[in-house]
Amino acid sequence: MPMTQKVVHIINVPLDLGASRRGTDGGPSAFRIAGLKRAIQSLGYEVADEIDISVPTLESRTPEDAKARFKNEILGVCLELAQRTRQTLEDGAMPLIIGGDHSIAMGSVSGMSAYFRDRQEKLGLLWFDAHGDMNLPESSPSGNIHGMPLAHLLGYGDKDLSSILGAHPAVAPENVALIGIRDIDRVERKFIHDSGVTAFTMHDIDRLGMSEVARQALEVVNDGTAGFHVSFDLDGCDPTVIPGTGTKVPGGVDFREAHFLLEECASDGRMLSLEMVELNPFLDHANVSAERAVTLVQSALGRSIL
List the catalytic residues.
Answer: 102, 129, 131, 133, 146, 233, 235, 278
Alpha-carbon distance of 28 to 37, in angstroms, equals 11
Sign of CA dihedral 268, 98, 19, 61: negative
**Alpha carbons within 13 A on the beta-carbon side of 75:** 15
C-alpha angle with apex 126: 137 to 266, nearest 5 degrees? Answer: 155
Contacts of 183 (CB under 8 A, 6+ apart): 130, 131, 247, 249
Report which of 100, 148, 145 is spatially closest to residue 245, judged by C-alpha positions. Answer: 100
Give the total residue count for the chain: 306
Residue 178 near residue 192, CB atoms below 8 Å:
yes
Report which of 238, 272, 258, 257 is spatially closest to residue 121, judged by C-alpha positions. Answer: 272
Q: What letter represents residue 15's amino acid?
A: L
How many helical (H) and strand (E) elements, i.e. helices and strands, does the chain have? 10, 8
Which residues pair with residue 125 across a beta bridge? 176, 229
Report the b/e string of 26-54 with b at 16+ CB within 10 A: bbbbbbbebebbebbeeeebebeebeebe
Which ranges constitute the DSSP H helices of the chain? 27-33, 36-41, 71-90, 105-117, 149-153, 186-195, 202-208, 210-222, 255-268, 288-300
Alpha-carbon distance of 299 to 63, in angstroms, equals 38
